[in-house]
Structure 1
Amino acid sequence: MHSANYISTIDRYHEQSRSIRELIESIITGIGEPRLLSDPSGLRGVTEKLIDLYPFVDLVYLLDEDGVQVAEYGADETGHVNRAHGQGRGVDRSQRPYFKRAAESENVHLTEPYLSAASRDLCISATVRLEHGGKVGYLVIDVDLEAMISFLLGDTMRRRVEPFFRGLYALFAAAMLLVAGVLFYSSMSELVHALMEPGWASELQLKPFEVIVVLTLAMAIFDLAKTVFEEEVLLEKDVHRHSTVRRTMTRFVAAILVAILIEGLLTMFKVSMGYSDQGVTATLMVFAAAALLVALGLYVYLGALAEKALLGNNGRSRRLRNVRDKEEH
């Protein structure tokens, strides 16, 4: 129902690039045994252990000296290992950048994030050169970048139960839409009744206010349901970023603010026409809405400053890490 937030994933990759690189390098060097070149079937056992320990690993495959794929295993939808449909076996990957880079170096080569042709998710490929008995080959693993970042952030359990929460939010949004529909139907019925049987002039003047009050409430509930459905069901949210929480909070408060203002203004109109004596209440509602608007503006401003400072610190930290990496190499 929702699409992946690729921009958020790439931003997280740049923030955690050093940790991601170190983890992938440790994984592929740990399993990169030269015996795999003479025993490709042993790759299945290696893949089983990998996926059991690191659920973000998608594919593990071998290339011969010429870049032709000779074996491939991957995780299916249930998390079990199988031969990846045999689609990659025999494919010439000698023109792939990761193969060319690995052929020129003895070190582990990592690609930048790219969209996988199989899963359409962002992934990273790591390649290491193997030699055994005069035979040369290359071990390659593909990892799901979003799943790996969740693994590093300790967010795996939340992602597993997220579909359940999305379903609950969808039910809540649907229920609120039904309530808004009932209120809309009620207000339209009152309006039609007023037109068909106008009654006394005073009643006819008061009836539109009653209709507007119900319509305003229906609109506020509809806007709230729309916000819940968009934010919690349709959009892929990055709960680790304050900007996401701030956006959701802003939309919720804005919907409530509009409803309060409209109700306050309608009450004032009724007071001015002599149909109500709740002038003090109406004034307090308008002042409350104004105070809520000021508080919302302050919240958005301070939240933006805090996130800007945090991103600035992260940027400086990344630059320092890059400098240290260059000095080490």
Structure 2
Amino acid sequence: MYGKCGLLDDSIRVFDEIENATEFAWNSMLSVFAQHGLGKDAIQLFNRMKNEGVEPNAITFVSLLRGCSHSGLVEEGLSFFKAMEKTYGVVPREEHYSCVIDLLGRAGQLKEAENFINKMPFEPNAFGWCSFLGACKIHGDKERGKLAAEKLMQLEPENSGAPVLLSNIYAKEQQWEDVRTLRKMMQDFNIKKLPGYSWVDVGNKTHIFGVEDWSHPQMKAIYDKLDALSGQIKAAGYVPCTDSIPLDVDVSVKEKMLQHHSERLAIAFALISIPSAKPIIVKKNLRVCSDCHSAIKYISKVIGRKIIVRDNSRFHHFSNGLCSCGDFW
């Protein structure tokens, strides 16, 4: 519970208080480290688990592989995958293969990931293709991205993630005609893009924000805070990454759109609502974009507060201009 809420230290404290931890407790703690992108901590905990005589199972290796994936520990992750059946008698399942695709893709080893897919004993599931497509988007591989998008759309025709990610790849290459074609296809098949939302708990209430949201009763104060933060972080060295906006519009328009992303609205609201002694914890239903990630690092620096953001993949702990992910997520 603590881990899923972003309270990592409390999670570790509760685990350490257990005298004779069962496999469920070990696996829960491993899952927390994986979700927070702490691959090295997950490996250390796994070694402690073995020393305590607790046998790892399939769930153990999912967390280990996820932790390695979010920390760029490619060799370590591949070593665990190979040792699963050979050393521990755990037969790899679909989710383990998907984790390896994710591991290689995040590290930019797209050719290796493709070779791994071709050698798999079965076709990747939707998560595997989605991970590969996301990696192609991050690393700008249009051809492999197109293949992954086609496979994902075959498995989940209603899933908007595939055409949206492929559209972003085309937009990065400024292939606007291809972007328009994909958007028309989404309209024709009534595929709606999943809207981005962020939320933060203040007191006993959850406050939800969308992109360029004006519905909150304190919206004027929130936007005033955003404007002030924008000036502060630019003075500290922040430069907007307008590539994050896959639209053929003016750069100044893109900058304004970035400034009003949902996680920034939630953070601005938290800054004017939560006492400085309390942590700011924001949750988001989509992957945090590269520009917001950069902006939040600068915000944590200029305001001197720790900000925790959980996106659909992992937790990011921002403090003093740095993120726990090391810009690898």
TM-score (norm 2): 0.26
Structure with greater proportional strand content = 1
Structure with greater proportional helix content = 1
Structure label with greater radius of gyration: 1
Give the structure, 1 or 2, with the largest relative contact order (CA under 8 Å, sep 6 or more).
1
